[in-house]
C-alpha cells in the first residue's frame, strides 16, 4: 500500500507536469471531500489530512468535542482519548483527533467523489498553467501537431497538453495539412472559457513573417538589421522593408542570403509566397520608388496637403505600367501599405496627355501655357504620332519625361507656397483671438445646448479653436450635423464678441490677500521736514518721560545690524498705539490710559530721518503743547 501510493503519486506528477505542491493540495482536498461523504458530516467540521510521501503514510485528523459520554463518535471524543493528543484537554474543548479509518474504508461512493474532486482540481491547475504560459507566448511562433481538421479550421496539439485553434481565415489559402503533421503558427490571442483556454493561432498575420525572418536571419535576431515595415497578402506576395543599424552592412543581402538560401526557406514555409525585400529610405520619394519595384520609375511626386491625405503620383514608362500595378493591382496595393502613402500610377504618355488637357482648359494654368507654347506644340505632335502607331525615339521620350517632371515640380512648389501662406494667415488670425480663449471650454461659453452638442460632436473643445475655424475654415463648421445658416450666424456673433466678453466668461481668479509691504527707502530719497503717511495699524511704545510723543526706541547693541523685512515688521519698536494719557498712581508708577475716542485729535506732524551709523530709519512725531506756546518732540 505504501509503495503503491508513492508510485501512483509520482506517476500523476510526471503525467500532468504540474508542481508537486499543486497535486499534493488537490489530493488533500479530495481526501477531505471523501471523508465528508463517507461520514455524512457537515463541512463546518475541521478535517486535516496529513500525507507523508517519504513513508507513504496518510493520517486524517478531525476536530471533535471532549465529552464524558460519547454519543456520536463522528463529532465527540472522550476525555481519556483526547488527552492522548492534547494533555491539557478539558471537558468542552475542541481537540484534533486522528480517526482510525483510512481511504480504503471510505466506500465506493466516497472514493468516486474523491476521484472526481482530484480530477477537477488537477484540471483547473492545468488550465491555469496553460493560460499563464501561452499568454507570455503571444506574438511568438509555436509548433504543434494537427489533431483534427474541420471546415472551421484546424485543432493543434501544443505543449502542456494544450489545444490551439487555427480558424480558416487565419490559414494561408490553398494550403492543406494532414492529420498528425507538424505545423508552425503564431499565437495571436489567448482567452479563458469554461472548457479551458482558447488559444488562437495564425499563419496569415504579418508578425508570422516577421518571426520567421528573425529565426532565419541572425542579423535581424541580433538587431544589426531592422525590419521597418511589412505588407503581406498571404500565400501570394509580401514586401518587407529593412534597414541596417551599422554601416557597411547590406540589409537586403543579409535577408536574402547566399543564392537566396535564407529567403527560400521562408518561401517554402509560407506555401510559395513571393517575398520582395527592399531597403528602407527615410526620403518618401526614394522609398516609394523602391517599393514599386521590380518596375522602373520615371518620377515620384508627393502631395501631402490634399483632401485624401498623403498621395503620391508615380510616373512609369509605358512598358512598365502593368508591372508596376501588378496582377489585380497587387503590387500597387502592397507598395501603398508598406509606405503608408496613397499611390496613383500613370504611364508617361498618360501623364503628358493629362497635363496638355489641363493646360488647355484650366484658367489658372493659362500663364504657364503661354510661356510653354512651343513645348506644348511639340508634345502634341509626339502624342499624335504615338496614337497613330508610329515610332517614338528615345530622345522624344526624354523630352516627354522632362516636360512632365517640370510641370509636376512647379505644382509642388506652388502647393508649398500656398501652404506657407495659409499657415502665416492662421498665425495672424491667432494673434487677433485672445490667448485666454484657447483655455476657455465651450461649457463656460453660454451657448445653447443644441449648438454646444453639435460643436462638441465635431471635435471642438474650446472657444479659441471655434473662433479660429470661423475665420479660416467656416465650411467645416457649416458641414457639421445640426449647424445651419441661422445657427452659423449665432456662432459668428459669439466669436465676434469673444474679445469683449472673454473676461466675463473666464472663471474668477482667486486673489490671495497679501500683507502690506513696507519698503525702506535710502536716505537720499527721503524728503526732509515733510509729512509722511503712516499706517494706522502701526503702534509705538511710549516712554514715561515723554508722554505725548510716540518715540522710536533706539536699537540696543544686541540688534545693531541691518534688519530684514520680517524683523522690521514684527519689531515692537515700530508699533504705534492710539493716543494715550499717562496718570500718576499713588505709588508714582505711570499708567497708560486710553483716551476718549470721541475727543478731537491733536494736530501733529511727522518727521522721518535716517541714521547712517545705525543704518536705521527713525520716525518722530511733533505735538503742540496744551498752552499753545511751543512744540515739543
pLDDT in tens, 505-533: 777 653 344 444 444 444 444 444 444 44
Q: Residues with Cβ < 8 Å from 567, sequence gap 6 or more?
A: none
Residue 35: per-residue pLDDT: 83
Instruction: Report the pLDDT value the prediction gives residue 624, as an integer from 0 to 100.
Output: 52
Mean pLDDT of 115-132: 87
CATH architecture group of domain 433-505 = Orthogonal Bundle (1.10)
How many Cα atoms within 13 Å fall on the side-chain side of residue 501?
12
Residue 102 has what pLDDT?
59
pLDDT, tens only, 347-405:
999 999 999 999 888 888 888 888 888 888 999 999 999 888 888 888 999 999 999 99
Residue in the block written with cell 496518510: 58
* pLDDT beyond 90 at 629: no
**For the residues 611-616, what does the mean pLDDT come to?**
63
Q: Are 582 and 593 in contact (CB under 8 A)?
A: yes
Q: Which residue bears the cell 478539558?
A: 90
First to last CA, the chain: 118
**Residue 34 confidence class, pLDDT cut points 50, 70, 90:** confident
Q: Is the CATH code 3.30.300.20 the one for domain 296-404?
A: yes
Q: How far is the C-alpha of 615 from the C-alpha of 522, rounded, in Å? A: 9
Q: What is the pLDDT of residue 613?
A: 63
Q: So what's the pLDDT on residue 300?
A: 95
Q: How would residue 80 be classed by pLDDT, with cut points 50, 70 and 90?
A: confident
**Crossing angle, helix 348-361 and helix 373-387, to 10 degrees?**
130
pLDDT of residue 623: 56
Q: To which residue does cell 490710559 refer?
A: 593
Among 340-344, 353-357, 444-448, the least confident range: 444-448
Q: Which three cell numbers stand for residue 157?
A: 496539439
- The pLDDT of residue 229 is 95
Q: Greater confidence, 623 or 182? A: 182
Determine the average pLDDT of the residues in 488-513. Answer: 73
pTM for the whole thing? Answer: 0.65
pLDDT value at residue 101: 59
> Where are the alpha helices (H) located in 76-150, listed in sequence order?
79-85, 108-135
* CB-based contact 21:53 (threshold 8 Å): no
pLDDT at 2: 62
pLDDT tens digits, residue range 251-297?
999 999 998 999 999 999 999 999 999 999 999 999 999 999 999 99
> What separation in angstroms does the CA of 228 have from each of 53, 99, 241, 310?
56, 70, 5, 19
**Which of the two residues, 544 and 231, has the higher pLDDT score?**
231
Strand order in the sheet with 616-624: 604-611, 616-624, 631-632
pLDDT in tens, 54-70: 777 788 888 989 998 88
Of residues 55 and 124, which shows the higher confidence score? 124
Give the angle 45-47-50 at the CA atoms, nearest 5°: 170
Is residue 327 within 8 A of residue 233, CB to CB? The reply is no
For residues 50 and 55, which has the higher predicted lDDT (pLDDT)? 50
Answer whether residue 467 shows pLDDT above 80: yes
Q: What is the pLDDT of residue 240?
A: 96
**CA-to-CA dists, residue 584 to 174, 217, 547, 593, 594, angstroms:** 121, 109, 12, 10, 14
Task: Say whether pLDDT at 95 is over 70.
Answer: yes
Mean per-residue pLDDT over the chain, rounded: 80
pLDDT, position 536: 39
* CATH T-level topology, domain 2-127: N Utilization Substance Protein A; Chain:P; domain 4 (3.30.1480)
Q: Which residues contact 420 (CB under 8 A, 6 or more apart)?
A: none
Class of domain 137-204: mainly beta
Cα distance between residue 59 and residue 174, in whole Å: 62
Domain boundary assignment for the chain:
2-127, 137-204, 296-404, 433-505, 523-632
The pLDDT value recorded for residue 210 is 95
User: How are beta strands 225-233 and 198-202 bridged, if at all?
Assistant: unpaired
Amino acid at each position: 500500500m505504501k509503495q503503491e501510493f508513492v508510485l501512483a503519486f509520482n506517476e500523476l506528477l510526471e503525467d500532468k507536469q504540474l508542481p508537486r505542491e499543486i497535486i499534493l493540495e488537490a489530493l488533500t482536498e479530495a481526501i477531505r471531500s471523501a471523508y465528508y461523504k463517507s461520514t455524512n458530516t457537515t463541512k463546518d467540521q475541521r478535517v486535516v489530512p496529513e500525507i507523508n510521501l517519504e513513508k507513504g503514510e496518510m493520517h486524517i485528523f478531525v476536530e471533535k468535542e471532549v465529552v464524558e459520554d460519547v454519543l456520536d463518535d463522528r463529532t465527540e471524543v472522550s476525555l481519556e482519548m483526547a488527552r492522548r493528543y492534547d494533555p491539557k484537554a478539558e471537558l468542552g474543548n475542541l481537540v484534533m483527533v486522528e480517526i482510525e479509518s483510512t481511504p480504503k474504508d471510505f466506500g465506493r461512493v466516497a472514493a468516486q467523489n474523491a476521484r472526481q474532486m482530484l480530477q477537477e482540481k488537477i484540471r483547473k491547475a492545468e488550465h491555469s498553467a496553460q493560460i499563464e504560459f501561452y499568454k507570455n507566448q503571444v506574438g511568438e511562433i509555436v509548433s504543434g501537431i494537427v489533431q483534427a481538421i474541420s471546415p472551421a479550421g484546424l485543432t493543434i496539439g501544443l505543449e502542456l497538453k494544450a489545444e490551439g485553434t487555427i480558424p480558416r481565415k487565419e490559414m494561408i489559402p490553398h494550403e492543406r495539412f494532414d492529420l498528425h503533421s507538424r505545423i508552425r503558427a503564431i499565437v495571436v490571442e489567448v482567452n479563458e472559457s469554461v472548457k479551458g483556454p482558447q488559444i488562437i493561432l495564425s499563419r496569415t498575420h504579418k508578425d508570422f513573417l516577421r518571426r520567421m525572418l528573425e529565426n532565419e536571419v541572425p542579423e535581424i535576431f541580433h538587431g544589426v538589421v531592422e525590419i521597418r515595415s511589412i505588407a503581406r497578402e498571404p500565400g501570394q506576395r509580401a514586401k518587407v522593408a529593412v534597414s541596417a543599424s551599422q554601416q557597411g552592412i547590406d540589409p537586403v543581402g543579409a535577408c536574402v542570403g547566399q543564392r537566396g538560401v535564407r529567403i527560400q526557406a521562408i518561401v517554402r514555409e509560407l506555401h510559395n509566397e513571393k517575398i520582395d525585400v527592399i531597403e528602407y529610405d527615410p526620403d518618401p520619394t526614394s522609398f516609394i520608388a523602391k517599393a514599386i519595384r521590380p518596375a522602373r520609375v520615371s518620377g515620384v511626386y508627393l502631395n501631402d496637403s490634399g483632401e485624401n491625405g498623403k498621395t503620391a503620383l508615380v510616373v512609369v514608362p509605358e512598358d512598365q505600367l502593368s508591372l508596376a500595378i501588378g496582377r489585380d493591382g497587387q503590387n500597387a496595393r502592397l507598395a501603398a501599405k508598406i509606405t503608408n502613402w496613397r499611390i496613383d500610377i500613370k504611364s508617361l504618355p498618360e501623364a503628358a496627355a493629362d497635363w496638355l488637357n489641363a493646360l488647355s482648359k484650366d484658367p489658372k494654368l493659362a500663364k504657364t501655357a503661354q510661356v510653354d507654347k512651343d513645348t506644348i506644340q511639340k508634345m502634341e505632335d509626339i502624342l499624335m504620332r504615338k496614337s497613330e502607331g508610329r515610332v517614338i525615339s528615345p530622345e522624344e521620350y526624354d523630352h516627354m519625361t522632362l516636360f512632365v517632371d517640370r510641370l509636376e515640380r512647379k505644382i509642388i512648389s506652388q502647393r508649398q507656397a500656398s501652404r506657407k501662406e495659409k499657415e502665416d494667415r492662421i498665425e495672424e488670425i491667432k494673434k487677433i483671438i485672445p490667448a485666454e480663449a484657447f483655455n476657455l471650454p465651450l461649457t463656460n461659453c453660454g451657448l445653447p445646448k443644441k449648438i454646444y452638442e453639435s460643436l462638441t460632436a465635431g471635435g471642438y473643445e474650446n472657444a479659441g479653436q471655434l473662433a479660429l475655424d470661423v475665420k479660416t475654415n467656416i465650411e467645416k463648421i457649416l458641414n457639421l450635423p445640426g449647424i445651419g445658416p441661422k445657427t452659423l450666424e449665432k456662432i459668428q456673433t459669439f466669436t465676434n464678441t469673444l474679445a469683449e466678453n472673454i473676461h466675463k466668461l473666464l472663471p474668477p481668479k482667486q486673489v490671495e490677500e497679501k500683507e502690506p509691504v513696507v519698503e525702506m527707502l535710502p536716505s537720499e530719497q527721503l524728503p526732509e521736514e515733510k509729512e509722511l503717511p503712516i499706517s494706522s495699524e502701526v503702534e509705538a511704545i511710549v516712554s514715561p518721560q515723554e508722554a505725548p510723543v510716540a518715540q522710536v526706541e533706539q536699537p540696543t547693541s544686541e540688534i545693531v545690524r541691518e534688519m530684514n523685512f520680517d524683523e522690521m515688521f514684527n519689531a515692537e519698536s515700530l508699533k504705534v498705539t492710539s493716543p494715550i494719557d499717562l496718570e500718576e498712581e499713588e505709588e508714582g508708577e505711570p499708567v497708560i490710559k486710553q483716551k476718549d475716542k470721541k475727543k478731537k485729535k491733536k494736530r501733529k506732524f511727522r518727521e522721518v530721518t535716517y541714521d547712517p551709523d545705525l543704518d536705521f530709519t527713525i520716525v518722530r512725531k511733533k505735538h503742540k503743547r496744551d498752552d499753545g506756546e511751543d512744540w515739543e518732540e
